Amino acid sequence: MNKAEVIDVIAGRYANGGWYATAPVIPWLAAEGGTLHDVMKTIEMIAPALQGKLCLDIPFKLDWHVEGGINEI
């Protein structure tokens, strides 16, 4: 059985209070929204499109990193 690939996703907050999330190794896997929940939900909806022969033909999981820590929420 193949080991799952880990895709790091960085989430943070803009100065205006909006949130963003991005996966540095996959630049187009990104989202912006009003809450951390919004951006996480969007990324989790986009991520399954990565699986398959045209993208990542291996299992993967998202590893979330919130800039500033969880106290920023």
pLDDT single digits (tens) 16-51: 999 999 999 888 899 999 999 999 999 999 888 877
- The domains of the chain, with CATH numbers, are 5-72 (3.30.2390.10)
Q: What is the pTM of this model?
A: 0.78
Q: What is the mean pLDDT of residues 62-67?
A: 93
Q: How far is CA 36 from the centre of its chain?
A: 11
- 47, two tokens: 């991520």
